[in-house]
A and B are shown apart, each in its own frame.
Chain A
């Protein structure tokens, strides 16, 4: 059987890449800062799955999420000397992931500027709040495996703006606090609260039928 993305159930905290935040992180960070690559390997294992999920939920593409996750952990290693334990290590990683995805989106726009690539142009230039946005989503076999509700939520997430999608993913899917999200995005808690309010409102409007039936 070929390996595909494995969805890890949230309660499975013991599995690789799904570890809860804890003092172990600080110990491992301290060792990694001293050049211990094995300690860094442990850190990657503890946080890999959540970073990959966050990026995949943003990009809707396994291959891009895979490459971007690699980029996140390479950047994190190179910047590890600057990490101070004022923030949680996971929050710091999310911040790097946010920057990597942001740069990736900017590169895509730049690359598409001189080409007539309908797929990219349509995705990036149509008003994110438009109801009839074309959706270039996951592979057909992935969609077959997903539930109807998942498909509808994915479609709705693809229709809202990137900023709104990111804040919903960080808050409602990844479970970060307002404070942590403010750290990740580099803005105030008030901005996070306001942005989340509008993001949820848009998403719930798009999922009106589904949401009211629950």
Chain B
């Protein structure tokens, strides 16, 4: 015996959202209901037509930058409590008792850390953006020489007939000025081809 399905079951059936048992039950009822079968086909065709032209998944532009920026934003939120799932009542008495001593120790460590920081360079996370797809960038830093090198692999070769455009550079004569002496300071000049 085929029971008439309720309205909600019918709407779910139209969208193919019923579980297997209910689906079979409504299918049995609908086998003699050509108008409902047509409605379901129409709903399926509509969804398919939309999905064919409106993308459900799009990679955002500059996906590596997307990840890098997000990661940096999350790390910058150091003041925000980390999402560690812990109970509110987990703090026991002895942690409270040691709190003042811990704060004092942290202040001492912080003082020495700030003293040491003056002698060492801060470590920074680096994000390199390349203008072309397929270009791989590598970053090298030599602390003793205070040199920084960025190697770009995959950049197209510069053609032989490429003319160097106008470029600003420091005085090629290498004039070394005395600090504070504006007249002897390196000046910018323009090299023309």
Interface residue ranges, A against B (CB under 8 Å): 1-10, 12, 15-18, 32-35, 37, 40-41, 44-45, 48-50, 52-53, 56-57, 62, 65-66, 69-70, 73-74, 77-81, 147, 149-150, 153-154, 157, 168-169, 171-175, 177-179, 189-190, 193, 200, 204, 211, 214
Query: Could you jot down 11 A-B contacts, CB within 8 Å?
Result: A8-B55, A34-B85, A37-B75, A49-B59, A49-B60, A52-B60, A70-B66, A168-B50, A174-B56, A189-B8, A214-B49
Q: Residues of B contacting A37 with CB < 8 Å?
A: 71, 74-75
- For the residues of A in contact with B, the DSSP-based class is helix
For B47, the closest partner residue in chain A by CB is A172
Q: A6-B59, A10-B51, A70-B70 are in contact. Are A178 and B83 (CB under 8 A)?
A: no
B80-101: contact bitstring with A at CB < 8 Å (1 yes, 0 no)? 1011110000000000000000
Stretch of B9-17, B105-113, B144-152 lying at the A interface? B9-17
Quote the shortest CB–CB distance from B129 to chain A (angstroms): 10
Residue B21 CB within 8 A of the other chain: no
Question: A10 CA to B8 CA in the complex, in Å?
Answer: 29
Q: Residues of A contacting B58 with CB < 8 Å?
A: 5-8, 49, 52-53, 56
Q: Tell me how many residues of B have a C-beta within 8 Å of chain A.
A: 39
Interface residue ranges, B against A (CB under 8 Å): 8, 11-12, 15, 17, 45-47, 49-51, 53-63, 66-67, 69-71, 73-75, 77, 80, 82-85, 131-133
